[in-house]
Chain A
Amino acid sequence: MRFGKFIAFLAAVSLAAPAVITIAAAQDNNGRGILDAVRDRIARELERVEGVETKPPEKEAGPGIIDFEIASPAGAASGAAAALTSQYRKTHGVSFGKGASIQFCTDDYDEINVRLCPYPRAASGQRAALHDIETGGPAMQISFDDPVASVNMRINPTGGQLDEEFVARMIGFDANGNRAGVSELRFNWYQDAFTWPTGVSINADDGAGFSRVDITLRRVASNNLPVRFLIDDLLVTPAVVNAPPPVAAALAALDGPPRVGRAVIVQSPNVGPAQSTLQIYPAAVRKRLSIDWNAVDVALADQDALGMLAATLAGVGQKYVDVAELPVLAPQAGDDLQVFGNADTVNAVWRADGRDYSVYGSRLVTVIEKAQGASGVGSAITFSGTDDELTASFSLFGASYALTQHCNGGAGADPGCYDRDALGAVAESLVVLVGETGRTRP
């Protein structure tokens, strides 16, 4: 292979001019060895930089990676550039500001086997993105349609001296244009066979995630002046911080009165011993509902991604979470959270904002006829109450739940206690707990 025969050399260039850097590759096998060594060295260096991802992004890292393999003009000569704007918006939700272009570097060589590329060829292929400070200002601006949690990329100056010091800086902005994170990497440029050893990343602080990231590269030897640079292997990770909590999402998805799903009769006048204890009336029919454990798993994964945790369980609460054969709903915050119940019914109680709360869950239902002329269950979330409490009942994961806000002081003494919106907000903030038995999907 012709490719394997070339030796690398580096041409120092003036960063002020669009100089040509000639790059070639080392022998394939040797090249891999060198690259590994360089990666190790870079990783060690990066570990010293707080808040910066230590591993440069891998090309194979995931479907979100942008390798700048599209958008080059077909048949264009090596080195030709196409403006990089919104070519990746549809597929990745990523757009670029002024000054960005796609640089591509074909396998064309001149008569002395020097590759005809205006800049160092990207490690991952023929194309990379260039930011030109003349037309785009000091920073490359990358915007995201949806907030992102982190941005990773390889970065490379368009030229430099061996071991020359550069500073890459990334600043993240939230949807309101406020700074939401910053990351800086100081590195010594190291030109090797495959070049591009430097990876930079930025992670959003807790909050809404980034809507835009600005990247600059500065040359320390030139009074930290910004220079043009190349990026490749851009990887963005969507933020999930704006996703609704799973119970809120499940409640929002409810449509119409909750229907009784698949169930098994566990008590009736003919099933179980109940009737033998009664003298006049029939034992009610009781049914045990099936739980949609797949939906439970999705909710658990979502709340893990959101970092949602239940408040600390007091006393023997975990024992009853572990016994429960249905998901337990619990608050994220609250004092003295207790859980008790049996396999089919469970009750969590806690205190928050000066009131007591409880959420009762059951996969046992009693079959009962409503009074003649009564409406029956009319909506997905039903509010009911007595003199000293307000309850919202609903069905999730196949089970039935009742969240109760206990009023202070009895009838009329705590009028705010009957605020349905406030109780609805409490319901939306609940988290799902599944204990030992629940994990067996009983």
Chain B
Amino acid sequence: MILMRLFAIAVLSVGVVACGQVGPPRPDNMPPADNTPPPADDDTPPADDEPDPMPPVDEDPEPPAPGFELPGGWQGAPGALLPGSSTVKGSTGVTDPSVIAPEMIFPLAEGPAFANSQIFGQGGGGYASGEWPGPGGSENDPRNFDYPWADNFCEVRLDAKHATDLCPGGKAHKGQDLRPKTCENAVHWLVAPETGWISHVGSISVNIMGAESGLKYKFLHVQMPVPDWVKTGAPVTQGQPFAQVSDLLSASSRATTVHTHFEIHGAADVDGALHNGALPPYTSLVESYLDLVDANPDMAEPVAQPSQDKCLTPQ
């Protein structure tokens, strides 16, 4: 908590970056998708001018970049859910730090971005009519758009469709919620974590299958409609923007916060048994975010939120 406050103060004291000034290409000037799906060993560079997502570690370190640096403690530990937010109260999430998807780049075009809880963050009402209470307040509270990150894979969910065998209680949130730089709707671009294929386009979701890892990446609450080329089976290149972050809870409801619910799906060996479904994505996001902000130090710094009329609490 102390860290969090320190960062909040830091945000207020640094220069304000205007929202929406910089961004990836809009749908109408995005590069067309290739006709031929990329092979598994394709070494195609990212679609836009993203930095190399995986800088070799054995090169001489660059001199420290000026500007904001991620301080120690910027990311909570894997499995360290916000207090009182797990399905079985007092239990942790998945503490295994294994990086499921070392191939992926960070799935937002630019930073900063914030892995944290929606229903237990500021403005969140908690779960089950207060049985799991949230802090309340405003969704647009600057603290939601600040460090530290918090894992929320295994956060409480009780409905049958959230069944999972990886979390205590057997039902839970099976992804990581990511807030973009600001609370603005339909401004922040999501990019393909890997070269591969659009594997499904739903009413508010896009799935991408990575050609290298074979993993599937799921994005919920994307702004609709997505660009025309984003169709099931379409090839996609790592870093290619494909949709924007929104507050859509369903095709007709803007009842959630502006965030992306991000999942990684694949087969897993869990205590010698085969699991096939959502895997804990937190450390893959941490690592890919480090790559992003290492290459773009200016992208690490939280920004002041726009005025409230731009980012109303979703209805």
Contact = CB atoms under 8 A, between A and B. Distances in A.
B16 interface: no
A54 to B, nearest CB: 47
A369 interface: yes
Given A375-B170, A377-B275, A365 B161 contact: no
Interface string A315-331: 11000100100000000
B270 A364 contact: no
Interface in A271-305: 274-285, 287
A345 B100 CA distance: 15
B40 A376 contact: no
A14 interface: no
A63 interface: no
A340 B197 CA distance: 8
A280 B165 contact: no
Contacts of B276: 360, 362, 382, 391, 393-395, 400-402
Interface string A377-412: 110001111111111011100011110101111111
Contact of A371 (B94, B162, B232, B278): B94
Contacts of B164: 374, 384
Nearest to A411: B250
A368 B272 CA distance: 10
Given A345-B214, A376-B273, A368 B280 contact: yes
Contact of B96 (A336, A369, A393, A413): A369
Interface stretch (B5-13, B52-60, B108-116): B52-60
B202 A364 contact: no
A340 to B, nearest CB: 5
B91 interface: yes
A371 B282 CA distance: 13
Contacts of A362: 214, 266-267, 276
A2 interface: no
Given A278-B287, A362-B267, A386-B261, 11 more contacts: A257-B274, A260-B269, A281-B97, A284-B98, A340-B197, A349-B199, A369-B270, A371-B168, A387-B161, A387-B220, A400-B276
B211 interface: yes
Interface residues of B, number: 82
A365 B267 contact: yes
A73 B274 CA distance: 62
B278 to A, nearest CB: 7
Nearest to A346: B214
Contacts of B203: 388, 408-410, 413
A388 B202 contact: yes
B184 interface: no
A284 B40 contact: no
A432 B275 CA distance: 21
A280 B91 contact: no
A389 B202 contact: yes
A400 B275 CA distance: 8
B268 A281 contact: no
A372 B166 CA distance: 9
A391 B263 CA distance: 14
A276 B199 CA distance: 29
A418 interface: yes
B168 A260 contact: no
B174 interface: yes
Interface in A348-375: 349, 356, 358, 360, 362-375
Contacts of B278: 384, 386
Given A374-B165, A386-B278, A278 B102 contact: yes
B50 interface: no
A242 interface: no
Interface of A: 257-260, 263, 267, 274-285, 287, 314-316, 320, 323, 336, 338, 340-345, 347, 349, 356, 358, 360, 362-378, 382-391, 393-395, 399-402, 404, 406-413, 418
A311 to B, nearest CB: 15
A413 to B, nearest CB: 6
B100 A284 contact: yes
B53 to A, nearest CB: 8
Contact of B251 (A279, A345, A363, A409): A409
A281 B286 contact: yes
Q: Which 8 A-B pairs have the closest CB atoms?
A: A345-B214, A410-B250, A342-B40, A385-B161, A284-B98, A393-B276, A373-B168, A400-B267
A338 B232 contact: yes
Contacts of B279: 366, 368
Nearest to A407: B202
B169 to A, nearest CB: 8
Contacts of A390: 161
B99 interface: yes
Contact of B233 (A258, A340, A374): A340
Contacts of A276: 56-58
Interface string B205-221: 10001011011101010
Contacts of A258: 273-274
B182 interface: no
A399 B267 CA distance: 9
Nearest to A408: B203
A275 B271 CA distance: 23
A287 to B, nearest CB: 6
Count chain B CB atoms within 10 A of each CB in A258, A341, A358, A378 and give the residue with the most. A341
Contacts of B214: 341-342, 344-345, 362, 364
B97 A282 contact: yes
A373 B98 contact: no
Contacts of A363: 267
Contacts of A364: 214, 266-267
Given A259-B274, A412-B250, A388 B269 contact: no
Interface in B195-254: 196-197, 199-200, 202-205, 209, 211-212, 214-216, 218, 220, 232-233, 248-251, 253
Interface in B122-143: none
A341 to B, nearest CB: 7
A388 B220 contact: yes
A386 B250 contact: no
Interface in B37-90: 37, 39-40, 54, 56-58, 78-79, 88
B277 interface: yes
14 contacts: A259-B273, A276-B57, A284-B98, A323-B40, A340-B209, A356-B202, A367-B98, A368-B96, A368-B98, A373-B168, A376-B270, A384-B278, A410-B248, A410-B250
Contacts of A406: 200, 202
Contacts of A399: 267
A367 to B, nearest CB: 5
Contacts of B287: 277-281
Nearest to B102: A274
